[in-house]
């Protein structure tokens, strides 16, 4: 997230209790579970089957489409990877919905690779009942209720995610193909505490943080733990990322941080480590799965830039030989790691 990113009141609204949904962090966990499930098999027919379902999940998760809008669709006619869009809806009421580049990469590998050979135009001709069972199973594997894996829950989750990200209501309606003019009332509910937090967090726009740090996050404090000397401050960003910072008690009191407080954080790139996703950062409190988008290197140092599943940019400055040792390349899945002591906090 850029240090000049603006917060919107839409980030802090409550969702009515009858709207079952997953937040951005839970959606990322579900996506990672689908990825692991796909990669567990090696038989060509199993790989093809699971890759098709995985790509179907990615489309539903990132577009908010109905399952019936994708099942049976001819990908040759309705998916334009060069423009990164998918055409949804019935003829005469069709809408173009953008696809993230990460999704386009997976679709390109499926459509143009061995798994797509011989089923051109039929990649998404899958049994809806089978798809739902797989979705329920993956949700259960994440520790969620099985029903939270339903395609309808993914659709509602995407709506909430877009609204929380500050996407205008009219745009959300067009993306989802939603005909209701009361979409905001359906997904949003404002409480007295929301109003208080909105006013406090809007102050961040007026004191936008100017910093040379490449890794910047904005969110609100969710928990504070203290001992006699230090404080462990946990906060959640608008993208659903949880960040931990350890600061002195003096700093905690000076910043006047408590649960609900708006907060910004920076981590210098040299304090960020990176490892292949399969290797866990055992010493780091904060780990963010991402796709490597760029590696720039000299004989000694390498700047590694990545993008998390929710679109948050990350940057690590490491030794060039460590990149070679880990075999990291552009396009690889990796984990950016940093210690809680490396996180510098700022408050309004």
User: How much is the pLDDT for 203?
Assistant: 43
pLDDT, residue 189, reads 52
**Residue 321: which residues within 8 A CB-CB, separation 6 or more?**
none
Question: Would you state the pLDDT for residue 48?
Answer: 95
d(CA 23, CA 8) in angstroms, rounded, equals 17
Predicted TM-score (pTM) of the model is 0.55
Q: Residue 164's pLDDT is what? A: 78
Place of tokens 């567990």: 40
CATH code given to domain 1-11+198-348: 2.40.50.100
CATH code at 17-187: 1.10.443.10
Measured between alpha carbons, how far is 108 from 47 in angstroms, rounded to an integer?
Answer: 15
Domain with CATH 1.10.443.10 in the chain: 17-187
Please list the pLDDT of the chain residue by residue as tens digits (348 residues). Answer: 333 344 444 455 566 777 889 988 899 999 999 999 999 999 999 999 999 999 999 999 999 999 999 998 889 999 998 888 999 887 777 888 988 888 999 999 999 999 889 999 999 999 999 999 999 999 999 999 999 999 999 999 998 888 877 777 777 888 888 765 445 555 555 455 544 454 444 444 444 444 556 788 888 899 999 988 899 999 998 778 899 999 999 898 888 888 888 888 999 999 999 999 876 555 567 999 999 999 999 989 999 999 988 788 899 999 999 999 999 999 999 999 999 999 999 875
Q: Cite the residue boundaries of each domain of the chain with CATH code 2.40.50.100.
A: 1-11+198-348
Q: Which pLDDT does position 253 carry in this prediction? A: 87
């Amino acid at each position: 997230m850029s240090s000049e990113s603006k917060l919107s009141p839409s980030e802090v609204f409550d969702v009515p209790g009858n709207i079952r949904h997953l937040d951005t962090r839970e959606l990322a966990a579900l996506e990672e579970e689908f990825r692991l499930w796909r990669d567990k098999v090696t038989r060509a027919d199993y790989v093809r089957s699971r890759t098709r379902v995985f790509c179907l999940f990615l489309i539903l998760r990132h577009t908010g489409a109905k399952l019936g809008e994708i099942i049976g669709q001819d990908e040759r006619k309705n998916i334009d990877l060069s423009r990164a869009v998918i055409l949804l809806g019935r003829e005469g009421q069709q809408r173009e919905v953008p696809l993230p580049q990460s999704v386009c990469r997976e679709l390109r590998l499926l459509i143009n690779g061995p798994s797509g050979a011989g089923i051109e135009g039929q990649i998404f001709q899958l049994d809806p009942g089978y798809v739902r069972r797989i979705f329920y199973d993956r949700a259960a594997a994440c520790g969620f209720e099985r029903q939270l894996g339903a395609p309808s829950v993914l659709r509602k989750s995407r709506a909430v995610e877009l609204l929380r990200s500050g996407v205008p209501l009219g745009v959300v309606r067009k993306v989802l193909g939603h005909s209701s003019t009361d979409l905001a009332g359906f997904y949003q509910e404002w409480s007295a505490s929301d109003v208080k937090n909105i006013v406090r967090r809007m102050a961040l726009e007026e004191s936008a943080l100017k910093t040379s740090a490449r890794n910047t996050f904005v969110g609100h404090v969710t928990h504070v733990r203290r001992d006699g000397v230090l404080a462990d401050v946990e906060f959640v960003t608008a993208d659903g990322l949880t960040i931990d910072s350890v600061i002195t008690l003096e700093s905690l009191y000076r910043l006047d941080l408590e649960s609900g407080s708006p907060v910004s954080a920076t981590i210098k790139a040299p304090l960020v480590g990176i490892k292949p996703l399969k290797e866990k950062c055992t010493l780091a409190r904060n780990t963010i799965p991402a796709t490597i988008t760029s590696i720039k290197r000299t004989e000694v140092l390498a700047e590694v830039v990545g993008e998390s599943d929710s679109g948050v940019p990350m940057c690590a400055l490491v030794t060039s030989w460590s990149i070679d040792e880990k075999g990291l390349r552009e396009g690889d899945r990796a984990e950016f790691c940093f210690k809680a002591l490396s996180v510098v906090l700022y408050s309004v």
